[in-house]
Every structure is written in C-alpha cells, then in structure tokens.
Amino acid sequence: MLKNYTRATRFGVVLAAALIALTGCSGGAGGDTKSAQQTGAQAADSVTIEEAWVKSAGPGDMTAGFGVLENSSDTDVNVVSVSSAASPMMELHETVANESGQMVMREVEGGFVIPAGGKLVLEPAGNHIMLMDLPEAVTAGDDVTFTLTFADGSTLDFTAIVKDYAGANENYEGGHGEMSHGAEHGAEQGAASGEAADSAHDAHSGH
C-alpha cells in the first residue's frame, strides 16, 4: 500500500513539473510575439511634415511641393511615391547639375530616403514633389492634399497651402509634359517660319 502511494506521489510531482514547463514555454512564445509586433511599426507612424507648401500654377502647367520631412524612428525610411487629386502625374524629384553644368530636375531613383532621427528638406532648387499636367489651376490660398507611400506600404496624408512664388523655374532633364511639347512646338514653328522666309526671299530674288 505504501509503495503504491509513493509511486502515485512521484507521478504527481512529475506531472506537475511538466505542466509548469509547458506553461513557461507558452508564456515565452507570447512574449516573443508581442516583441515582434512592437518592432513592426509602420514607417508612416514615425514621419511628420512641417511647412508644407505648393507653388501656384495654371491649368496644364507644372508645379512643385515643398516642406520638411522628419523621421523620429531609429531607422531610415524610404518614400517611394506620392499622389494627389491635384495632378494625374507626379514624381519625386531631385535637382542636379547636368554634363554642361546646368541645374536640371529629374526623378529620384528609388525615391526619397529620410535618415533615422533626421530630416529631409524639400525646397526650390533641391529635392521636391513634382506635379505635372495640372487639370485645374492651383491658386494662392488653396490647399492641396498629398499622400506619401513608403517602401513598407504604409501611407501618410498631409495638406500643403498654395503660395505665389517667382522661383523654382529649373529645367527638366529630358523634358516632361507640356514643357517638352511647348519647346518642340516652338522649334517647329521657328523652323517653319524660317523656311517660309527663305521661300519668300528666293521668290523675290527670282522676280
């Protein structure tokens, strides 16, 4: 009888120990999951923009958006695209010197990178948000809403006020939209005018 009682006691102790071990493992797994969730914060949650504004422009024209993007996280964040109801065609631009030393604007490969704990300034003659083929005028005092999309798929909405500004008239590398078309159209008109003038001169000389 005593032997049976001893065996039952030992079995109970072993069973209790096993249950405690399983409970500990379960608690550890839960802790790991919570930690992973905490480190999976979205990039948009750590980014803010200050002093956002847009240069006024007419319908069919191009314009640009500016401001100061700040990243409060301890890792770099990557802005890969931007959208707005104000423009059907938008790009993230940088301003660089071309082969002839002329300052030109072009799309940034890979988008904007906002450094960890730092800022990215969007300004005339520097990095900026480009709006092309405006369907309607953006007039001083208007508000323009933007949506930034980050590499992790998160998004940040912000509103910028429209201001009159005489600068930010850099050239566009390769040409974009109406600016490129206008330049080509002007060149064609010039060539046509020149040919017409030559023909008139030849006719007059023959006469």
Report the phi/psi class of residue 24: left, alpha or beta, with left for phi > 0 and alpha for psi in -120 to 50.
alpha
CATH number of 43-178: 2.60.40.1890
- The pLDDT confidence band at residue 106, using thresholds 50, 70 and 90, is very high
* Structural tokens at position 19: 């249950």
Q: What is the pLDDT of residues 49-86, one digit of tens each?
A: 999 999 999 999 999 999 999 999 999 999 999 999 99
CA atoms of 76 and 202, how far apart (whole Å): 67
* pTM listed for this prediction: 0.66
